[in-house]
Structure 1
């Protein structure tokens, strides 16, 4: 059985971005409840990471930006929500998408601290797989927040891995392009970024198949732009050959897999090329029509794990929180091996049972939406 380190901070569920904001940190606590009630905690090291300091965050982000989010005006709710610090400055936060909120810096410290600790655990040889579902915030940029992401814990984790590994592979299966991570490593060959994402009139509007990196990084950014309606079989048919080729050619010393769950059926998702703001206009958001299921998503984890390379699993997007919890709990069990995998047809009894009706099963059902990813289109990508 692989040695799995699982990072969880019990305070993570206490933070709230803003009224009606679709990003709900509580989903991580729900996933943890499923992990505990399935008995998975008995098969792995459950750890609470040291929270990341400002100094650790500035290994990627600018001092000015981190100082800003650490000094937001908690005494003035209106200024806090607008992202203004005590001097009135709000240059760094992206309006409704990335509001200021009470505990913002602490939330970022938990997220980043878990991902840094996961990398250190891998570097020390104490784990084969390390998990931090509070991480995976892939849109954050060096000097600004973006797409619900404030501190790019992924970049910080990869920088820690690079202290011990010559090459690191980053794979992103969130429905949105992993733009912040790609941008951070776009000019180096020491990190290969590979993003599978919906492309077109869709946030963040980047990730064209021809975006390959520049300078020494040319050829080390891989983008797989997908169309609406991809199902499990089609996703598998593009994911596995791409990853097989990269693993054989690049031979990374460690892999970071961002497991954003917003690509699944029934996820609440806004569609806008410039902003995620449509998500904020109404608390009752239509479900995205997608045939992609929990087991299909987990097949990506299973495939990457099969190479036996040290692996970090991180969270990411996901706005139908019952399905995020289902997915990340199930993928935790996948990391432990076939004998420990949860049964998708069952659901462990837990304190959040009312969220999981009417099916009260672990699985996320598919639907019959038309798959616009033709074989010809996928072959052109390959």
Structure 2
């Protein structure tokens, strides 16, 4: 019987030097069954995003992103990806979706002047869920900028899969924040992708309904939104029943999968695959945005599902297997140690790496992961599964019936030349063109010089080459 590098159940013991030199991951060999897909993966992370704080009692903890980054570094996954520190989103980029008065409000409001803006706070839905905190606008620019940078890498073909775990804030609306989300980086990224991609599929496996993204694209057939979430009519945000299917041109291009408490690994992954395969076959997306909210894991502070990390990752792995350009973002998740475990594991999935279930000894803040120090703690069986087989089967049949009305992928006439990817002015663009032309002329001059030097070197004796 043979054992792999990562199998800790072997009876063979190793010395300290061998243990230290053993890799933390093992490459997954792609064969015919897995399609042999080896994507180019980029990782977009600005460490400044972890410096912000919603408040002592608030469940959203941006430092979960620091823990995720430490895990990615400790497992040496950076060796398998292109790493980018993205710039912040500009005000003009935020205005591609959000209203001018709302963005101005985000720019100007601070904890110091908030008490003088009581009526404005009420207008913009500022409260316990979405408090005013120090550096709020900067925070929004950082995580939105990372998602936009990721979308640009997909558009240019520099990446097949682009990851931004700081993004995925899917509740934010055009005129107001909602559910811990101030700027909807997903909508901004999809708008960016739509300039060159005729059809974009949005998939949401957060515990909560992706209402902000659904609302933004409810009237169009160029974006299909699919959301798996808890729904009982009262659970936040109170939307997302299966009868919400879109309006006007967007009719039947919205698919909601309302679930009950306690759904387990097998039920969730089977339902996910049985729905997403026909969705992709019918809609034929040219780009996919996958929101990987970690609050759908078991044992989450605000959660009510029984999913383990491998089951959540299996959904992401299934979508990746289609080989379609993919933007992967974070989202909810309120038990930081499990959020970081999940997103590190899913980074391994994107890079075709099988990670050792035992966390590396050199990991900073390793005490956060006690007592087991494992990448895969047992998170299931905490709640009774209220999703009966009959309920899930009826739900699947209803959703597939809705999908039948789509009548295939919509065709899109892409006639306009999309705007410049970097938002350059005409003068800036012309300066770059002039510089490239100048460099091209100089290269041509050097090539001519090299040609005559080569001719002289190859001349026969007594043969003159001028």
TM over 0.5: yes
Structure with bigger RCO (C-alpha 8 Å, 6+ apart): 1
Match of 2:103 in 1: 66
Match of 1:379 in 2: 393
Match of 1:370 among 366, 375, 384: 384
Cα distance in 2, alignment partners of residues 233 and 240 from structure 1: 11
Cα distance in 2, alignment partners of residues 107 and 348 from structure 1: 32
Deviation at 1:94, TM superposition (A): 3.0
CA contact (8 A) 1:265 1:364 kept: no
Deviation at 1:21, TM superposition (A): 0.7
Match of 2:120 in 1: 89
CA contact (8 A) 2:110 2:133 kept: no
The alignment's C-alpha RMSD in Å is 1.4
Deviation at 1:346, TM superposition (A): 4.0
Deviation at 1:171, TM superposition (A): 0.1
Cα distance in 2, alignment partners of residues 323 and 24 from structure 1: 12
Match of 2:162 in 1: 130
Match of 1:354 among 367, 375, 399: 367
Matched, 1:10 2:47: yes
Cα distance in 1, alignment partners of residues 349 and 51 from structure 2: 28
CA contact (8 A) 2:264 2:380 kept: no
Match of 2:262 in 1: 229
Matches within 5 A, 1:73-222: 73=110, 76=112, 79-80=113-114, 89-90=120-121, 91-200=123-232, 201-222=234-255
Cα pair distance change 1:156/1:120, threshold 3 Å: same
CA contact (8 A) 1:326 1:362 kept: yes
Deviations 1:93-127 (A, max 9, x none): 43110011111011000110011111110000000
Match of 1:273 in 2: none
Q: Which structure has the larger Rg over C-alpha atoms? A: 2
Q: TM-score, normalised by structure 1?
A: 0.91
Match of 1:26 among 63, 66, 69: 63
Cα distance in 2, alignment partners of residues 344 and 133 from structure 1: 21
Match of 2:322 in 1: 307
Match of 2:308 among 293, 305, 309: 293
Cα distance in 2, alignment partners of residues 32 and 348 from structure 1: 15
Aligned pair count? Answer: 356
CA contact (8 A) 1:119 1:312 kept: yes
Deviation at 1:290, TM superposition (A): 3.5
Cα distance in 1, alignment partners of residues 246 and 304 from structure 2: 32
